[in-house]
């Protein structure tokens, strides 16, 4: 599979938003009502939200492309927006949040999400944080297996709200620098 991972361009805010809205339900449990998914998309994943992320000095939007088509994206928040609350179990001194890492279903299992993850970790190194943290839906076994096999460790839990529904999600972290031994 010939693909590329790079930073999103400002003019791609609409396309990334479309991809985000299309793929967000893939990470949610099948029992979650469409109305709650729609509310989350409206409140977090519009073109305006992505234009603001792309423009923000402490946020990164990465995209994976096959030819001209966007097939995956990752959203990273550094600085205060990405700092984990103390009760979440994250032990890294300074951590960025991997807020989203999504690929279209046709590209699952093809190494594209792994490349997005690698690029996200590289971004974290460039930003000088000790590592990254994230939360995944408790029923999203594929995502949890994906992160675990790439060296992420479960450290705690978070209440994550989609629409009006509170999900108790596992929290994972990963240091991005090798420790000297």
Ligand X SMILES: CC(C)(COP(=O)(O)OP(=O)(O)OC[C@H]1O[C@@H](n2cnc3c(N)ncnc32)[C@H](O)[C@@H]1OP(=O)(O)O)[C@@H](O)C(=O)NCCC(=O)NCCS
Contacts with ligand X by CB under 6 A lie at: 23, 26-27, 101-103, 108-109, 113-114, 136, 140-143, 145-146, 149
Nearer to ligand X, 27 or 165 (CB): 27
Closest to ligand X by CB, 40 vs 102, is 102
Considering the complex, what minimum distance in angstroms separates the CB of residue 114 from ligand X?
6
Q: How far is the CB of 133 from ligand X (least distance, A)?
A: 12
User: How many CB atoms neighbour CB 136 within 10 A?
Assistant: 24
Nearer to ligand X, 78 or 152 (CB): 152
Q: Please, what is the minimum distance in Å from the beta carbon of residue 134 to ligand X?
A: 6
Query: Considering beta carbons, is residue 59 or 135 the nearer one to ligand X?
Result: 135
User: Which positions ≥6 away from 113 have C-beta within 8 Å?
Assistant: 64, 72, 101, 102, 103, 107, 146
Tell the smallest beta-carbon distance from residue 177 to ligand X (Å).
Answer: 23
Q: Single out the residue of 122, 123, 170, 178 nearest to residue 147, CA to CA.
A: 170
């Amino acid at each position: 599979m010939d693909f590329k991972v790079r930073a999103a361009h400002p003019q791609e805010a609409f396309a990334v938003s479309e991809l985000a809205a299309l793929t967000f339900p893939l990470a949610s449990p099948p029992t979650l009502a469409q109305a709650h998914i729609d509310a989350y998309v409206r409140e977090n994943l519009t073109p305006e939200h992505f234009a603001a992320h792309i423009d923000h000095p402490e946020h990164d939007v990465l995209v994976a492309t096959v030819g001209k088509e966007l097939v995956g994206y990752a959203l990273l928040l550094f600085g205060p927006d990405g700092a984990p609350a103390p009760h979440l179990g994250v032990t890294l001194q300074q951590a960025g949040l991997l807020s989203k890492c999504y690929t279209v279903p046709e590209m699952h299992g093809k190494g594209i999400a792994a490349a997005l993850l690698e690029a996200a970790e590289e971004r974290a190194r460039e930003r000088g944080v000790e590592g990254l943290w994230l939360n995944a839906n408790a029923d999203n076994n594929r995502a949890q297996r994906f992160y675990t096999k790439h060296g992420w460790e479960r450290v705690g839990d978070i209440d994550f709200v989609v629409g009006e529904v509170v999900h108790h999600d596992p929290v994972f972290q990963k240091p991005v620098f090798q420790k000297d031994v």
